[in-house]
Amino acid sequence: MRIELARRRSRWFLIIALVAGMSLFVAACGSDDDDGGGGDETTAESGEATAEAPKCGLGNGEEATGEPIKLGAIATKQPGTDFSDIPNTASAFFECVNDNGGINGHPVEHIVETEQTDPGQDAALARKLIEDDGVAGIVGSTSLIECDVNHEYYEQQGFYVINSGIAPTCWSTPNSAPVNMGPRY
């Protein structure tokens, strides 16, 4: 049963990663206009600037209604260090995906937890997300210590993590996929 659950999580993780990657690719391409110029388009009637609305998800404007796909994130948030903007940005993207058909009709529920660089708290949050909340993956985590504290637990549970790598462990663990430049930039 555990193997089947791990396979199901891996399949959802792959789907989510592909959707996120394709969405970023499409967003990076921008609009394709015929004039080749970089200026604002204007309407002939009003002279006001117009822009095409960005699309995410299926881009169909229909709210996702299926069973939610739960994802989690852990971020450091304490006096002097607040990385919660990163998972909150991921949450905003998932809201847009949900408003545009979700992932094959399923909305994404992004559960963001914050920690204060306490290893016990960090470990408890990872277990809460996986065991209590039942997340299918960890996406958008940005923590000073989370990779060091939780990477073995994630490996045991068959979880792959898309995160911002801060701790050196983020860069040397096979189940961590940091999206930032890392320690060698």
Confidence tier at 11 by pLDDT (50, 70, 90): low
For the entire predicted model, the pTM comes to: 0.71
- Give the pLDDT confidence score for residue 3 in this predicted structure: 58
Model confidence pLDDT, tens digit, residues 20-52: 554 444 444 444 444 444 444 444 455 666 677
Model confidence pLDDT, tens digit, residues 89-103: 999 999 999 999 999
Q: Tell me which long-range contacts 53-58 makes (C-beta under 8 A, separation of at least 24).
A: 54/27, 55/26, 55/100, 56/23, 56/27, 56/93, 56/96, 56/97, 56/100, 57/19, 57/23, 57/96, 57/97, 57/98, 57/99, 57/100, 57/101, 57/102, 57/103, 58/100, 58/101, 58/102
Say yes or no to pLDDT of 5 above 60: no
CA 60 to each of CA 23, 64, 82: distance values in angstroms, whole numbers, following the listed order: 14, 10, 35
Over range 176-185, report the average pLDDT.
76
- List the chain domain ranges: 2-26+56-178
Model confidence pLDDT, tens digit, residues 47-74: 666 677 667 888 899 999 999 999 999 9
Architecture of domain 2-26+56-178: 3-Layer(aba) Sandwich (3.40)
Say yes or no to pLDDT of 124 above 70: yes
Pick the residue with more confidence: 142 or 181?
Answer: 142
